[in-house]
Structure 1
Amino acid sequence: MYKKFSEGMIEVITGPMFSGKSEELLKRIRILEYANIKTLVIKPNFDTRFSENEIISRSGAKISTHSVSSADEIRELFKKKNYKAVAIDEVHFFNKDVLTLINELADDGIRVIVSGLDLDYLRRPFGIMPYLLSMAETITKLQAVCVRCKNAASTSFRKVNSRNLKMLGDIEEYEARCRSCHIKGEFTKMQEVTKMEEAKKNVD
């Protein structure tokens, strides 16, 4: 059955690192451009890995963006021009205030497209993403390729021993892994930490 949505709606693009979320977001922004739909493009100013004022996918596609730190900044930018759509990359880095804004925009007939990680490096729901997933009219869940077994990967495995939830990184710090390989990796890291702690006790 063909479903026709109203103008105001929320679309979520999600999945692990290296699954092409930013690429998919950029593709949708380009389509909106072709349709002459003026779109406000946003990313968190926290994320400066590839650029401070562009969204850049790993394939090299890119587009200029506004880097902001809060929902209030997005709201002020939106007021300045007659935007009909808003696109937000790495939305999981924003706090809960952005949920209210996204819902208000969709209620006012604005198309909102966001992309972000659904799970953190420990396979737990990431920040505001569970709320966005429940609010959205459409959800696109992408998969990467597990670097260990080459099956579909749905998780982001952190290779370094850091507990900082908002630690930025790329292939040096993270790997895409399937559920099974992620569990094995966490078990191996736990064993390594235990060995280090035992070695330190022996030295002391």
Structure 2
Amino acid sequence: MFIEPHIRGERRGWIEVVCGSMFSGKTEELIRRLKRARIAHLKVEIFKPSIDVRYDETQVVSHDANSIQSTPVDNSQTILLLAQDVDVVGIDEAQFFDNEILHVCETLAVKGVRVIVAGLDMDFAGKPFGPMPGLLAIADYITKLHAICVRCGNIATMSYRKTKQNSQVLLGEKETYEPRCRTCYHEGENEY
């Protein structure tokens, strides 16, 4: 539970990062936190990278089909321009943003905004993904979620790509990726 601290009557901001592999529930958790903020009558703005059009061009949509209206943006600086007079900012798929997203989140938090960021911490190759390591370093709160390995049923921390395409960014769903535990991930390295 996150309780907004007050010092001398001033509102204080912070950064929350929700990370994990594909199919771990990151977007579901982001949507849940943002909807709760709205229930508390806080002014909420949600952003996602404009390249993410898998489910919808403007909505943030979870794999379980829960959704919340968002504003697609081409770069992180746009978030600062659009997030005026808000209490909470939600950012989905943060791994697709430029490294300036760290400055954007820090600037918002210093202004007293609660910033909730969701994204993949590792890419399909098991390497840190985009600005996520930096976001994890500056976060006040971190939640790492896990999926279930489709091969053995253990906790999955890896996003296994089921194609031979090697570009870091490849938008896809269950036809392209599956969650795997570390062992099953490495056992499958030569499958595709």
Whether TM-score is above 0.5 comes out as yes
4+ long deviations beyond 6 Å:
none
> 2:190 aligns to what SS in structure 1?
helix
Pair 1:74-2:87 in alignment: no
> 1:33 aligns to what SS in structure 2?
helix
Pair 1:50-2:55 in alignment: yes
Work out the CA distance in 1 between the residues paired with 2:165 and 2:44.
37
Q: CA deviation at 1:36?
A: 0.8
Choose the corresponding residue for 2:150, options 147, 152, 159. Answer: 147
> 2:72 aligns to what SS in structure 1?
strand
> 1:123 aligns to what SS in structure 2?
coil
State the TM-score, normalized to the length of structure 2.
0.93
Gaps of 5+ in 1: 190-204
Kept in 1, the 8 Å contact 2:42–2:87? The answer is yes
Q: CA deviation at 1:8?
A: 0.7
> 1:187 aligns to what SS in structure 2?
coil
Q: CA deviation at 1:4?
A: 7.0
| Largest Rg, 1 or 2 | 1
State the TM-score, normalized to the length of structure 1.
0.88
- Deviation readout 1:124-143 (Å, 9 max, x if unpaired): 11111011101001100000
Gaps of 5+ in 2: 7-11
Pair 1:27-2:32 in alignment: yes
> 1:32 aligns to what SS in structure 2?
helix
In structure 2, relative to structure 1, the CA distance for the partners of 1:109 and 1:58 (3 Å cut) is same
Kept in 1, the 8 Å contact 2:80–2:108? The answer is no
Choose the corresponding residue for 1:99, options 99, 102, 119. Answer: 102
CA RMSD of aligned residues (A): 1.5
Code of the aligned partner of 2:119? G
Pair 1:86-2:89 in alignment: yes
Question: Which stretch of the first structure deviates more once superposed, 143-152 or 5-14?
Answer: 5-14
Higher helix share: 1
Match of 1:61 in 2: 66
